[in-house]
């Protein structure tokens, strides 16, 4: 059996690493038996905005160098999807795999799904069935297209399976396998825990920015990631968030803010950069590697984020999480489903109230069903049996 798997951007890397290790373990289990193993090829579309960061994630997570790199680069959504389809079509025609495996919801996921089906190759989607029901999010479009085309849909939780059944997906195409992101968390937890928080802060502090001191582990700190257009592209919304952070939150806790390039650009554009750079008890950090961000999450008193992956990590680690969105495709991480996250959108009054509640609540780890670090093995077993 030949499998071609696809990654395109940073969110994919943490999901493909355990899959590759599971394929290797499957092949090792067949050694000497005479049974054919899985021939696996990794395709990197090169969608990531920073090639150096892409390479750093591959190295940190022990992902082997991609067999094929399409080098698509940045561009509009249409440009990325179109160029990826053109390049990936050549790969599929040359390799003729039995399966194309895609992960997550980036543009590469959608583009390679369409191409695989047009070339009559079976398609499997890892992390299927997630739904925000917000069609303004490009990721939601990618998820809907990919799931509609997939022959096997590997879901991370029971709610995702219910979404697919409601959309008419036949039962024999749905496989509940758990969350592959947690495979990576469990595999990398010890390595992350060995890092020093003060060292992470000092090495990644943005030049010329921040009067905040390195947080005292005994006093705690909050952690912020922010990048979605709904939060950073409107000066009124971003300004209100900055007001809250600089005037209120940092009076309670030191804030570590890992600043996305898009967010930095908008802060400078709206004349807010100097203000956050000079704010006391706020430390601006460059984008962090996987282990560094995981280490900060382990110690944070509270996380504020509009990222999907952090919601999942907070759930398992028990870190109180304010999700700065009005919806989430990962409702299993919400407090009403036993998780650690609360949707607060970008309404400052709601953020303020929830912050107070979260700080009183403390850590409450939760582990949804099959978030046990063995998801990738279940996926490979399913693929090998089909």
Please write the tens of the pLDDT for every residue from 254-308: 999 999 999 999 999 999 999 999 998 999 999 999 999 999 999 999 999 999 8
Catalytic residue set? 227
Same domain, 194 and 340: yes
Domain CATH for 71: 3.40.50.2000
Q: Say which residue the tokens 């209100």 belong to.
A: 240
In terms of domains, do 118 and 9 share one?
A: yes
Q: What CA–CA distance (Å, rounded) separates 29 from 24? A: 9
**82 and 230 assigned to the same domain:** no
**Do residues 231 and 194 both lie within one domain?**
yes
CA 212, CA 283: separation in Å to the nearest integer? 5
Predicted TM-score (pTM) of the model is 0.94
CA–CA distance from 279 to each of 248, 272, 273 (Å)? 11, 11, 10
pLDDT tens, 306-356?
A: 998 999 999 999 999 999 999 999 999 999 999 999 999 999 999 999 999
- 163 and 217 together in one domain: no
CA distance 185 to 165: 29
Is residue 366 situated within a structural domain?
A: no
Residues 130 and 229 both lie in one domain: no
Return the CA Rg of the chain. 21
Do 284 and 146 lie in one domain? The reply is: no
Q: How far from each other are the two terminal CA atoms of the chain, in whole angstroms?
A: 10
Supply the range of the domain harboring residue 350.
187-361
Say if residue 380 is in the same domain as residue 349: no
pLDDT digits (tens, 9 = 90+) for 85-111: 999 999 999 999 999 999 999 999 999
Number of domains in the chain: 2
Task: Tell me, yes or no, whether 243 and 378 share the same domain.
Answer: no
Distance, CA of 3 to CA of 38 (rounded, Å): 7
Across 198-206, average pLDDT: 93
Q: Are residues 175 and 234 in the same domain?
A: no
């Amino acid at each position: 059996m030949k499998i071609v798997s696809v990654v395109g951007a940073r969110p994919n890397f943490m999901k493909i690493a355990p899959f590759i290790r599971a394929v290797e373990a499957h092949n090792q289990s067949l050694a000497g038996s005479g049974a054919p193993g899985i021939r696996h090829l990794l395709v990197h579309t090169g969608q990531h905005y920073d090639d150096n960061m892409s390479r750093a994630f591959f190295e940190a997570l022990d992902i082997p160098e991609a067999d094929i790199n399409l080098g698509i680069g940045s561009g509009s959504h249409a440009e990325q999807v179109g160029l990826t389809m053109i390049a990936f079509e050549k790969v599929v025609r040359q390799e003729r795999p039995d399966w194309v495996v895609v992960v997550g919801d980036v543009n590469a996921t959608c583009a390679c799904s369409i191409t695989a089906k047009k070339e009559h190759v079976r398609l499997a989607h890892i992390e299927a069935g997630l739904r925000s029901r917000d069609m303004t999010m490009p990721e939601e479009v990618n998820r809907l297209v990919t799931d509609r085309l997939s022959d096997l849909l590997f879901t991370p939780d029971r709610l995702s399976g219910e979404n697919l059944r409601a959309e008419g997906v036949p039962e024999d195409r749905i496989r509940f396998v758990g969350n592959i992101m947690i495979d990576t968390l469990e595999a990398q937890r010890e390595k992350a825990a060995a890092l020093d928080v003060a060292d992470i802060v000092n090495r990644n502090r943005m030049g010329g920015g921040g009067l905040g001191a390195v947080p005292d582990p005994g006093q705690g700190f909050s952690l912020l990631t922010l990048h979605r257009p709904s939060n950073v592209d409107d000066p009124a919304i971003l300004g209100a968030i900055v007001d809250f952070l600089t005037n209120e939150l940092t009076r309670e806790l030191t804030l570590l803010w890992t600043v996305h390039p898009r967010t930095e650009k908008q802060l400078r554009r709206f004349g807010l950069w100097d203000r956050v750079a000079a704010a006391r008890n706020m430390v601006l950090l460059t984008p962090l590697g996987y282990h560094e961000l995981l280490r900060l999450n382990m110690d944070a008193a509270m996380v504020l984020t509009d990222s999907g992956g952090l919601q999942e990590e907070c759930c398992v680690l028990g870190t109180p999480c304010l999700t700065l969105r009005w919806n989430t495709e990962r409702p299993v991480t919400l407090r009403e489903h036993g998780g650690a996250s609360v949707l607060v959108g970008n309404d400052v009054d709601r953020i303020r109230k929830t912050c107070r509640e979260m700080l009183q609540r403390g850590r409450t780890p939760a582990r949804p069903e099959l978030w046990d670090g063995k998801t990738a093995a279940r996926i490979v077993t399913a693929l090998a049996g089909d």
